[in-house]
Amino acid sequence: MIPPAIREAVENWLGKVHPGHRKITSVSPVSGGSINRAFSIRTTSAVYFIKFNDAARYPGMFEAESKGLEIIRNTACIKVPEVFLCTQAGKFSFLLMEDEAGGGNQPDFWEDFGRRLACLHRVNAGYFGLDHDNYIGSLIQQNTPCDQWAGFLAEQRLQPMVTMARRSGLLNGQDCNSFDKLFLKLKDLIPAEPPSLLHGDLWNGNFIWSKDGHVCLIDPAVYHGHREIDIAMTRLFGGFDSRFYAAYNESFPLAYGWEERISLNQLYPLLVHVNLFGGGYVSGVRQVLRQYL
């Protein structure tokens, strides 16, 4: 259940913004996350979503998530949950948000999703990266700005994950040599595009059907990057309808050969999964390396 310190902090906030409705009447666990504990909490006036973790173990995680949600919200392209509280109570950090989970989807859900993601990807900050680091899963994601995608992908995305996996013995020296060779080829393998604002972790567990039946993005790992990264991530575990891709391409056509580059653009999330979940993903990494070397 929710620790007493968090419950007290939430009820204090409720007392300030909803006088007379500060009491939490029910708490229900929400499944799906591997890092945080999550609950739906009901008061006499509304329903909220809350998640919490060990503040010392994941410093700044929820602050980064809150910033990411705000960045996406400010584009007015696609719905994200509103954040009400992002703070610490006792030894816990927690994030209190609106509960956007809805029921069924609208008939045009996938087409609308594709068009809205295309809108997000048209947001261009003029550089690759972000003005702060954040998290992908429980791993720090480096975002030092760069004016060139191939360099950013190698130095800020792939190399940190390769180094981490090598230190833990999940990748070997030959793997590292292969990545060094791949880094030299990246500029020729990936067509140049202006930076796009990315969700950054767009698998099928990071969107929900909102109360209005349209898409709502959750758990972002935002940065400005090559938009094929987001598209490739949607293909890693499936769950996205063909109508999504058709509508996206109609709104913002992808460069020729994008489907052939999917495996290359999945290297970063594959390496993240190697470091989060172990050696079961190493074979997928090596398969991509063989494909491009």
Q: Which residues are catalytically annotated?
A: 201
Q: Using CA atoms, how far apart are residues 40 and 48, in angstroms rounded to an integer?
A: 6
* Chain CA centroid to CA 144, Å: 18
Nearest to 7 by CA among 100, 99, 85: 85
| Both tokens assigned to 277 | 């979940």
Report whether 286 contacts 152 (CB < 8 A): no
Non-local CB neighbours of 277 within 8 Å, separated by 6+ positions: none
Please compute, for residue 99, the number of CA atoms within 13 A of its CA located in the half-sphere on the CB side: 19
Q: Using CA atoms, how far apart are residues 207 and 198, in angstroms rounded to an integer?
A: 14
The b/e string for 116-130 (b: 16+ C-beta within 10 A; e otherwise) is: bbbbbbebebebbbb
Nearest to 103 by CA among 211, 241, 29: 211
CA dihedral 255, 260, 262, 265 (to 10 degrees): -70
Amino acid at 222: V
Q: What are the backbone dihedrals phi and psi of residue 68, each rounded to the nearest 5 degrees, phi first?
A: -65, -45
